[in-house]
């Protein structure tokens, strides 16, 4: 799931075999690092972050900003909040 893809390639939206990778790197956010995602039709996206045991599926009628979905999901998990 992208283990052999460098961070530099991920930041440029690396694509291979219908699997896309990118990196969460927004300053001030607790969730950081590489993730893999699959894009479906009409805004459906499956995100996978094995390093954080995080899987997010978004079903929608339109696309949302790529990183915003993951930050929103992570920030809604009480155990993910830092004290």
**pLDDT attached to residue 62:** 76
Output the tens digit of pLDDT for each of the chain's 83 residues: 556 777 777 666 655 556 788 999 999 999 999 999 988 777 788 999 988 889 999 887 777 777 888 998 898 988 766 55
Look up residue 5 and give its DSSP letter: S
- Cβ distance 21 to 11 under 8 Å? no
Where along the chain do its domains lie?
7-80
d(CA 28, CA 55): 22
Q: What is the pLDDT of residue 82?
A: 58
The closest of 7, 15, 25 to 67, measured between CA atoms, is 25
């Amino acid at each position: 799931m992208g283990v052999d893809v460098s961070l530099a390639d991920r930041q440029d939206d690396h694509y291979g075999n219908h699997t896309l990778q990118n990196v969460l790197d927004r300053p001030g956010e607790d969730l950081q690092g590489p993730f893999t995602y699959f894009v479906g039709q009409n805004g459906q996206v499956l995100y996978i972050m094995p390093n954080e045991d995080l899987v997010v599926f978004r079903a929608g009628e339109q696309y949302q900003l790529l990183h915003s979905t993951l930050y929103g999901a992570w920030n809604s998990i009480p155990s993910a909040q830092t004290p």
